[in-house]
Structure 1
Amino acid sequence: MSCVQQFPQHLLDLVKTSKYVHVATCSTDCIPSVSLMNYIYVPGERSFAPEDRSCDYIVFATLNNTEKYQNIISNPIVSLLFHDWITAKNLSLKKRSLSKSSASDQEEVAEGSGTSHSSKLLNLLQELNQSELFQMSATIRGHAAVIAPNSEESSHYKKLLLRTNPDAHVFIEDAKTVIIKVKIQSAKVTDSENNTSIYT
């Protein structure tokens, strides 16, 4: 059974819907490197090669003259960081809104005449707490493989990447671009309350 079948729905939603992933690689000399990448999630049943259909993959494109590519060639074990940036952004905006409360509003609360504002403030703080409960990060560990350039499989995944990330077409269609598929092997999820779950 694929470890992805054990993933909770909120983790699958995060992996399926995030636009970017941080890809961590390491050289044989133990020098780490991290890159922010466009990607697609490919469930096993939608994999190009029949032999891949018992696993799930993260697929992305990279240039063949990058440190990341050289690291993958020499050390295919990678880590992928997914983060709930939408919740984090909303949380930041709400906190910023709270910090920008007008001086007159603050004076109303201090004088005891700002019941309405006080109620809004309480509701906002409660909403912030709820947002924090759902904020999470997930680190997926996997085994990366380079797909042969100019192969049907490479063309297949390039088309999927372009469909999902049309704004990255210059990069994806570059002559030096190669497609990397990462077989998902395990995941560690941490939420804003420092609760950690591991799936293997």
Structure 2
Amino acid sequence: MSTTVDLPEHLVSLLKTSKYVHLATASKDCIPNVSLMNYTYVLPHKAFHEEGSNSHYVIFATSKSTQKYKNIIANPSVSLLIHDWVTAKKLSLRKTSVSNTPVPDSNDSEEQPSRLLNLLQELNQSELSQMSATLSGTATVIDPSSEESDYYEKQLLRVNPDANCYIKGDDNVIIKVKILDAKISDSENRTSYYT
């Protein structure tokens, strides 16, 4: 299997803008586990101290007590699923959103739209695309006391400010997934492979 993969621009764009990715891990006995994860995508030239590398990474954090962590320690081969069933330039639930606007009380004189209302309004103006991508990769646990861990933690917090409790903590570690290949399918059942 190739050590670097050339990802198409539409997949890179999706990785940069989506809020969540589904992470599939398996134990040493091949028992699967799937988790919905906040993440950040790292382009080759933005990777920690990897000059000249063409590797793409997905970075996330997890507690050492989770099944996904135990699986990654036993079996570092992982799979990621990401999709753009609905896309919009400024969709409320995207990474750039830090809104925690509550649903207004009936006593409020100045009505504020809820996050759900914002989302529904933006969905009406959204462009439907319907692409999904399955990425295969190798996961590495980053030493929590390293500069690399600090580097990626800051990136995770910058793009996921509402996920602080999943990223910071004495028991949490940063996981780096090196993308090895990708399979992209669209709503017309056309599939493309990138290795």
Secondary structure of the equivalent of 1:193? coil
Distance in 1, Cα, partners of 2:52 & 2:161: 26
State how 1:2-41 maps to structure 2 within 5 Å.
Answer: 2-4=4-6, 7-41=7-41
Instruction: Kindly indicate whether the alpha-carbon contact (under 8 Å) linking 2:27 and 2:74 is maintained by their aligned counterparts in 1.
Output: yes
Matched residue, 2:143: 148
Matched residue, 2:156: 161
Secondary structure of the equivalent of 1:160? helix
The normalised TM-score by structure 1 is 0.73
Instruction: Kindly indicate whether the alpha-carbon contact (under 8 Å) linking 2:39 and 2:59 is maintained by their aligned counterparts in 1.
Output: yes
Matched residue, 2:175: 180
Matched residue, 1:69: 69
Larger Rg: 1
Distance in 2, Cα, partners of 1:158 & 1:52: 23
RMSD: 1.8
Distance in 1, Cα, partners of 2:85 & 2:69: 26
State how 1:14-163 maps to structure 2 within 5 Å.
Answer: 14-50=14-50, 53-87=53-87, 131=128, 134-163=129-158
Instruction: Kindly indicate whether the alpha-carbon contact (under 8 Å) linking 2:24 and 2:34 is maintained by their aligned counterparts in 1.
Output: yes
Identity %: 58
Deviation, structure 1 residue 189? 0.5
More helix by percentage: 1
Deviation, structure 1 residue 49? 2.4
The normalised TM-score by structure 2 is 0.75
- Aligned residue pairs total 155
Instruction: Kindly indicate whether the alpha-carbon contact (under 8 Å) linking 1:79 and 1:142 is maintained by their aligned counterparts in 2.
Output: yes
Secondary structure of the equivalent of 2:54? coil
Distance in 2, Cα, partners of 1:12 & 1:157: 18
Structure 2: state its 5+ residue gaps: 89-126
Distance in 1, Cα, partners of 2:13 & 2:59: 16
Distance in 2, Cα, partners of 1:150 & 1:37: 23
Structure 1: state its 5+ residue gaps: 89-129
Distance in 2, Cα, partners of 1:75 & 1:188: 21
